Structure 1
Amino acid sequence: MLGIKNSFDHTRCMKFAREVEVKSEKQICFRDKEAANLYEMFHTRYILHRRAYQHRVGNIIEIMISEALKMANKRILTPGKNGKKLWISKTCTDMSAYETLTDSIVDRIIWSEDATLDRAKGILENIRTRNLYKCVGHTIPPKKMDKEKVLQKYVAILKTNRSGLCKNDVIIDVVNFNYGKKDKNPIDHVCFYTKKDPNKADKRKMSEVSGLLPKKFEEQEIRFYCKKNDKTSKDEATIAFQAWCKKNNCSVFQMKSSSYEVEYIPDQGYLNDPCQIY
């Protein structure tokens, strides 16, 4: 439905799937010649997460909705099974209350006359009008990084630059993309049978499948967002993002703001930088 093409043949996958007992445990195994097709399935999973499920626009909308719900947590009360009114975060302990938390909660917040919910209302209205927090850049670090440490260093750069932005004005979103088994090869956990002996299955080495298969199965992407939409704030957030990438030797894969559009490559520096920030 997304219109994303893939070369995984699900029909063949199901056709050659079979239950085989492996080490006294029944497992769903596949014909040995289907190993490459299974790699395509996990690669398709990775592509769907990168281009759709974990798209930066979808993720920032989720983050904005979460912010609004946190602000409304103690103000929007839902009656439970005993008539006791619960906060949004407490409804998970009472299914009769929890099942009422549908998408309608967004409208409940927007329609509320409680003045303390004005900030939450503003965030939800911004989502409806597509006035989202702006992504000033994203990068793939050479090794996995901790979200809080990234935020601390980024905020420190903002302070060093004497920016008008503070910790509450920026968002760091760390997303991990993989083949379904974190940094491990998922095919290492699948057993295959042969045409000659369909009742015996075992694992296969990557070298037995192809020499062109990936060696790495997980990567991390760090996205930098600015909550303020004015030109000055976005420029300051972009400059700090550049500095963070340079300090951490990270390549900039995309960076667009109102004034800057540059590319940084480790050991080469900034390319196409008309502002000559450094």
Structure 2
Amino acid sequence: MATDKYKIFNDSVHGHITMHPLLVQIIDTPEFQRLRNIKQLGGGYFVFPGASHNRFEHSIGVAHLAGKLVQSLRAQGNDITEKDELCVQIAGLCHDLGHGPFSHLFEVFMKKVKPELKWKHEKESVKMFEQLITKNIGKNNKTIKKIMEDDHNLEKHDIKFIKELIYSGERLNSAEDTKETETEKRDKQRRKDNPYLYEIVANERTGIDVDKMDYFSRDCLHLGMKSNFSHERYVMFARVSTNAEGEKQICMRDKEALNMYELFHVRYLLHHNAYQHRVTVAVEMMIVDALAEAEKDFEVVGRKISDDVNTPETYLKLTDNILQEIKGSSENAKEIINRIEKRDLYSFVDSRIFKPKELKVLNDPKQQMENVKEKVESWLKCIQKPNLSETDFRVRLIKIDYGKEGENPIDSLRFYRKDEKDKGVKLLDYMVSYIKPEVFHEIKVMLFCTKKLVPGLSMDDIEKFWGEMKNTNEQPDSKKPKLQEDN
């Protein structure tokens, strides 16, 4: 296709980037333009004035990095077709179409009001992608899907591949083989022959993917933080090699090991300093409470907020603007939103960081919220404050890790050496450094009071709360063994 049909975007992170004309047509749809009105950091914009960036520009950045990485891998001689490259870029562009108002905050709201749905934005992204390609008319009076088929030779199985890249659950919904053409059966071998293509946009194996690389860089830029991880070096040194199990995966040059640790260190710092900032958490809890109150009597096109997720046409209308829309819908919702605007936020009482095994409330994760409620009630009885009730407090449990809970994600990554580029191996400590993390997850517990001023709580009272939350019979963790090379 002629290069003059491509479009150049000037991005704040990546500079001037070139977008494929099909990607441009996807961008110019209501489903994608909706992302302009969804803040990347949810309630973080209420705390950090520079954090005004949206899912819109992040998605374009992910498509750009996905293209750069797949082009680099393709140039090394891997069996990657032009269609593969285009599909990966489309998945990068559309991976966040399903985010609700205030990004991940909407998932917290859905878990609170409709826990039985087990709602995920990734699954919603697939639904929005289906609507985008079937309902929108592009050039020559064709739908986006028809343009994909006629102008770019993307077939049914290619579109299925894009959905699988967006949401791994789609891999379980394959069509029956008897209904597939021979070409579809052959191309379906991507998953077996080129599994590394599934590690570019959303990497379930290691957690190292271009989605994280873009939002880490973008968030640090807009938060005024420094990121020492270089995604440019990652793209340069990434290579498809074969691991000890005989599987092809994206591997990294051995000398880049510390750069990979820096990726997860940046993630950790962003959570501690920004994503879980105590004022950010207070604002986000209030937004969730306001949405929950509005759920009682506010409707979008005749439906409750939580019901809008069932229909892409109505979900299209859900953006951050919803706070202003519900402001007059109920007195309780209005009161909470007014408090946010006047900076009359929930009061921060205290916070502690625990090992997961130290917390009683995590003994039964399915009953976590009920366990927290019981601990607060027990605490209030202990400190004998008749003027306070369980509803006056909010407890936030925040899991902070390197992306794979208690595991070291670098253990899942394989490295190649300069003289053995096709062999991916695990690195021993002496090949990397002895000065590196040994613990990879923790739980931050934050206690808030819904009243503006915390009424009459002494330090002794607060210590009793932590005593209620903490296990007293936890066993110390045994020392973690050193990494070993694959056999």
Other-structure match for 2:34: none
SS of structure 1 residue aligned to 2:354: coil
Q: Identify the range of structure 1 (142-151 vs 31-40) with the bigger mean alpha-carbon deviation.
A: 142-151
Equivalent residue, structure 2, for 1:189: 412
Match of 1:96 among 290, 308, 313: 313
Matches within 5 A, 1:60-79: 60-79=282-301
Q: CA distance change for structure 1 residues 39 and 6 in 2, over 3 Å: closer, same or farther? A: same
Identity %: 36
Aligned AA (2:257)? A
Q: 1:37 to 1:210 in 2, by over 3 A?
A: same
The structure-2 alpha-carbon separation of the partners of 1:239 and 1:221, relative to structure 1 and needing over 3 Å to count, comes to: same
* Superposed counterparts of 1:190-229, under 5 Å: 190-229=413-452
Could you tell me which runs of 5 or more consecutive residues in structure 1 were left unpaired when the two chains were aligned. Answer: 80-84, 251-278
CA deviation vs aligned residue, 1:156-202 (integer Å, no higher than 9, x gap): 12123221111111000000111111110000000100001111111
In structure 2, the partner of 1:25 is 247
Secondary structure of the corresponding residue to residue 137 of structure 1: strand
Matched, 1:126 2:339: yes
Bigger Cα displacement from structure 2, 202-211 vs 96-105: 202-211
**Equivalent-residue separation in structure 2 for 1:18 and 1:181 (angstroms):** 22
* Distance across 1 between alignment mates of 2:266 and 2:397: 21
**C-alpha distance after superposition, 1:93-132 (max 9, x if no partner):** 11111111122221121134xxxx1111000111111111
Counterpart residue number, 1:257: none
CA contact (8 A) 1:136 1:238 kept: no
| Equivalent pair of 2:375/2:468 in contact (CA under 8 Å) | no
Within a 5 Å distance, the mapping from 1:37-56 to structure 2 comes to 37-56=259-278
Mapped to 2, the partners of 1:238 and 1:89 lie a distance apart of: 40
Superposed displacement of residue 77, structure 1: 1.4
Structure with the larger helix share: 2
1:94–1:237 CA distance, 2 compared to 1 (3 A):
farther
User: How far apart, in 2, do the equivalents of 1:178 and 1:202 lie?
Assistant: 24
**Structure-1 residue corresponding to 2:229:** 8
Q: Measure, in 2, the Cα distance between the counterparts of 1:10 and 1:88.
A: 38
Question: 2:453 aligned to 219, 222, 230, which one?
Answer: 230
Shift of 1:248: 5.9
Q: For 2:349, what is the secondary structure of its paired residue?
A: strand
Amino acid at match of 1:7: N
TM-score, scaled to structure 2: 0.46
**Matches of 2:380 and 2:391 in 1, distance apart?**
12
Which residue does 2:326 correspond to in 1? 109
What is the rounded CA distance, in whole Å, between the counterparts of 1:152 and 1:191 in structure 2?
Answer: 45
CA distance in 1, matches of 2:306, 2:459: 35
Which amino acid in the other structure matches residue 345 of structure 2?
L
Secondary structure of residue in 2 paired with 1:14: helix
Distance in 1, matches of 2:265 and 2:235, equals 17
Greater share of strand residues, 1 or 2? 1
User: How many pairs does the alignment contain?
Assistant: 239
AA aligned to 1:136 is V
Determine the C-alpha separation between the residues in 2 that align with 1:64 and 1:167: 16
Q: Give structure 1 regions of 4+ aligned residues with deviation exceeding 4 angstroms.
A: 246-250
What secondary structure does 1:8 align onto?
A: coil
User: Structure 2 residue aligned with 1:170, among 393, 418, 423?
Assistant: 393
Work out whether residues 69 and 120 of structure 1, in 8 Å CA contact, stay in contact via their aligned partners in 2: yes
More relative contact order, 1 or 2 (CA 8 Å, 6+ apart): 1
Amino acid at match of 2:417: T
List runs of 5+ in structure 2 lacking aligned partners.
Answer: 1-220, 362-367, 472-487
Q: Distance in 1 between matches of 2:433 and 2:389?
A: 50
Q: Which amino acid aligns with 1:94?
A: T
Q: Alpha-carbon deviation of 1:24?
A: 4.0
1:216 to 1:230, Cα distance in 2 relative to 1, 3 A: closer
What whole-Å deviation, never above 9, does each CA across 1:44-81 have from its counterpart, x for those lacking one? Answer: 111111111222221221211111111111311122xx
Asked if the contact 2:347–2:453 (Cα under 8 Å) also holds between the matched residues in 1, the reply is no
- Distance in 2 of aligned mates of 1:36 and 1:56: 30
Match status 1:136 vs 2:349: yes
Distance, in Å, in 2 between the alignment partners of 1:183 and 1:75 is 42
Could you say what secondary structure the match of 1:200 adopts?
strand
